[in-house]
Amino acid sequence: MRKFLRIILNQIFKMQQKAYNLPNCSMYSYCDGSSSSHITSFATMSFDQKTQEKARKMREKVKAIVKKNIKTPEKLLEYVEKSGTKVIKIPYADKILSHVKEEEGFITPKSGFEALYLNVVLNKKISFKTPEMFVLRDLPLNIYVMSHQFHKWFSYKMKLPGYDEVSQENFKRVYEFADTNKVKQLSYSDVMGLKEAVRRDLDAIEFVLELSKEHEGSKKTLEKIKNGEKATL
């Protein structure tokens, strides 16, 4: 999955470059308020030093928290809730979330009718905006799947780029952008935001794979995460 995502994102850039007759030496920038990134004809991306350092420190902190609770993944949810993020356990959470193309785990803030739907069903209120949430079925937690979601949540709380609503929505549709006509709908800012969103997910996947090397776990679950398939929390 990691290799495929990188390939498709490079393809997106190349198709846009061709569609708009852009010179090969051009460089375009993207900034979401927390960092700046740059894309060249080689579709490379660089984070500023401040963001790299923030990501490194965050990874170490997450690793320490997860390792401390490796046998008690529910403690990670308690940590999330104590940090001010709402945690919702509800029967059929996976089916409820599927209507807005989300999966169990960390859900970034949403707006519009998708937010209204989630608020009515999950929060029993009428509002067109939702805060960040953890939504899952009331089942035993798998430490590796939970670690993947916890890493993404921590990245969001640390204000790393890629979690704005547009980037997250494009990330859910990333496979559609293999179509040239779909790519033309994206601005360069959209492309960079999408790359940041993918980077956040890849960071979380790599974190779990690294964790699995240090601790015995479910190979089946790890394969599901690595391949981008659904895995039960």
Q: What is the pTM of this model?
A: 0.76
Could you give the count of Cα atoms lying within 13 Å of 121 in the half-sphere of its Cβ? 19
Cβ pair 120, 100 in contact under 8 A: no
Closest CA to 216 of 158, 160, 147, 144: 144
Quick one: angle between helices 219-226 and 143-157, nearest 10?
40
What is the rounded distance in angstroms from the CA atom of residue 53 to the CA atom of residue 41? 26
Count of helices and strands (H, E) across the chain: 10, 5
Mean pLDDT in consecutive groups of 10 residues from the start of the chain, 233 residues: 59 55 42 48 51 87 95 95 96 94 95 95 94 95 94 96 92 77 79 86 92 69 64 60
What is the rounded distance in angstroms from the CA atom of residue 10 to the CA atom of residue 32? 21
